[in-house]
Amino acid sequence: MTLLVCSIWVDDASSLGRQADQAWADGAEAVELRLDTFDGEPADLADYLRRHPQRTWIVTCRSAEEGGHFRGDTAERVSRLLAAARGTNAFIDFEYADWRRSSNIRQKVLLAAAPTDTAGGNATVASAAETDAPAGPSGARTVAPRLILSAHVLAGVPADAMGLAERMQREPVRAAKLAYAADDAFDALPALDLVHAHGFRVCVIAMGEAGACTRVLARKLGAFAGYAALEADAPTAPGQLCLRDMIGLYRWPAIDTGTQVYGLVGDPVAHSVSPLLFNRWFGRAGRNAVYLPFRVPGGAGSLARFLDALRHRPWLDVGGLSVTLPHKAAALEYAGSGADRAAAGAGAANTLVFRKGEVRGFNTDRHAAVDSLVAALGGDRRDLAGLPVDVLGAGGAARAVIAGLTDFGARITVFARSPGSAAALAETFACRAEPWEHRARRAGQVLINSTSVGMWPRVEASPLPDHALAGCRLVFDLVYAPLQTRLLRDAAGAGAHTLNGLDMLLRQAAMQYALWTGDRPETSGDSELVTAEVRRRTGEAADGAPSARGRRAIALIGARGCGKTIVGRELASLLGGRSIDTDELVTTRAGRPIAAIFAQDGEPVFRQMEREAIEAVVLDPPAVISVGGGAVLDEENLKRLRTVARLVWLTAPAAVLRARLDADAASREHRPSLTPLTPEREVEVLLGERAAAYERAADLIVSTEGLSPAAIARKIVRQIASIPG
């Protein structure tokens, strides 16, 4: 049986019990203790584990070289690891690279991981391949020690992944664990291949958001274990799903070798609510199926290459896929003669069905858009005849909407940035095309926005000025994240009825489910569920205002010297993501230090560069954003940061800040003077002037005095979940 392992950071012995109890209560089958950041005596952990022998434990102290946080030497790490495992019967996870370097280390680790022979015979050490072999003529049994040898490759898919896994298995281990960084769904496939080939003897993980399928499908393919985080805010590896999502969202307990796989193909896919919908429907119907995100980047032939790869792995049992940007046209092409009339007419397929070696293509957007619009207008499809409708955009979504509306006689005018795309739509569907620059002159009773303008995180953008909405009967924005876009807010203010893309999403998804299964899903309560989930993910409160809960990034704010940059790097490492320092981004873009920008162009020019840097970062938010000391004094910066991040103010007394700045001689020449005062006095004055702004902006305040950057990062991780939604 594949173990569901909850991996937790252990900072001190006092927090272990609380975290472990929560993990077991939430459904974990084993708990991995990450000792990288542990500050206490390892023997205290061993005492706790010995008091709970009925539970399955794994102890790990991951080195910085393999993506962990332990920076001591190997001997110290081994000593810490073995002291925590001594006498506990816990599994020991140890790096294969260090295992190979020293026979002395191998002896110590093997001794600590020696198995207990509960059958009364003499246990002898065996490799993973020999584990649980029957007893020999002498009555001795060969059993593997409680040892996991692991390798973590941070630079992408290992060239010799299969060979590496096989070499680790030849050692006396219970399982070989391989984790590597994944950029897209293609990178996840070698991990699935390895587990398919070796089953319970291995655990292979593609790290990062793109590797989510490798974590969930570990149970289908019979891996040794699948790993999850206790909380979404505190993963111990990049892309680690939280325990509640593994069990609740992806229905881990129901997955087995017969589970059929469905999913969403596109880029991006991380913020889609489709997994929530489809897995809920599968669960309600008692279907042995799971729905997963697959990030496949755009590019000629990219979708076809991925689909071919799935079809060449029949053991995955892929039954169908939802297709989103940028692959809908490519999906139609891939389906070929298997595409239905609606998809062919719309020029795009958003649904693929795999059955008996054949591929069928459909477009459920076309019908869902019409049904959503008719329901919002309060009539039936006959009322669309002659209805003047303005459509913004000429992409795949616009094409599907226009195809559906012209089926029932609506009079369409399309406005698009690309004159060629608009003209092609006009010719295909016998509608009018107008230049994008004329969109404010629109005069239709219904306006439909099929562009991505206004989508999270650019929530303040709108494809149309508010004065152009006068006299509009209904504004339909296909965007559903956020639920209330700037366009819809402006439309409501102009007296128009409004409709977001959520209703259309639910309708088209239900049609996809029917195409895959032959049944309509039970949808009661789905609208409320998905509404709540969209708000959680985008940080949108019920009144449309941004809220802290759901903003996934963390922005560090505070005075110069508080440690934003170095703490940001430590924090991003803990969270398994990347960090960006906006001051460093400005410097890189300008090609000169900030002090030079101040001296040559003045502070106003720097502040504009800072705004542009923050806007760019917010569009593709990293795990951690470290912002300059004066950035949050600008309301525009603050509004943008609040869209995607929880703001953490790193505090310290002025004297501490001065001491840190004095010790950082390397950056002194790059710091601009912000006042005519001495450096010492400037720190005090600026802190006094800005403290109120920092406090007003902050969702969380963390004192940094007397703490190392690593300790500050761990403190933030522990406290971030306490921010109220």
Chain Cα centroid distance, residue 299: 22
Closest by CA to 322, choosing from 400, 263, 249, is 263
> Are 229 and 6 within 8 A, CB to CB?
yes
Q: Tell whether the torsion through CA atoms of 254, 256, 258 and 261 is positive or negative.
A: positive
> Are 9 and 235 within 8 A, CB to CB?
no
> Can you tell me the distance from the alpha carbon of 389 to that of 235, in angstroms, rounded to the nearest whole number?
47
CB-neighbour burial class of residue 693 (10 A; exposed 0-12, middle 13-18, buried 19+): middle
> Can you tell me the distance from the alpha carbon of 255 to that of 287, in angstroms, rounded to the nearest whole number?
10
When computed from its CA atoms, the radius of gyration of the chain, rounded to whole angstroms, is 28
> Can you tell me the distance from the alpha carbon of 410 to that of 486, in angstroms, rounded to the nearest whole number?
26
> Could you tell me the two tokens for 616?
């760019």
> Could you tell me the two tokens for 381?
């499809």
Each residue of 131-168: b (16+ CB within 10 Å) or e? beeeeeeeeebbbbbbbbbbbbbeeebeeebeebbbeb
> Could you tell me the two tokens for 158?
């290992």
- Residue 548 Cα distances to 410, 453, 536, 696, angstroms: 42, 23, 9, 14
> Can you tell me the distance from the alpha carbon of 355 to that of 661, in angstroms, rounded to the nearest whole number?
65
Q: Is 328 a catalytic site residue?
A: yes
The length of the chain is: 725
Choosing from 177, 220, 328, 564, the catalytic residue is 328
Q: What counts of helices (H) and strands (E) characterise the chain?
A: 28, 26
> Are 641 and 629 within 8 A, CB to CB?
no
The H or E element containing residue 527 is: helix 526-538
> Are 405 and 370 within 8 A, CB to CB?
yes
Beta partners for residue 413, in sequence order: 390, 432
Residue positions annotated with a catalytic role = 328
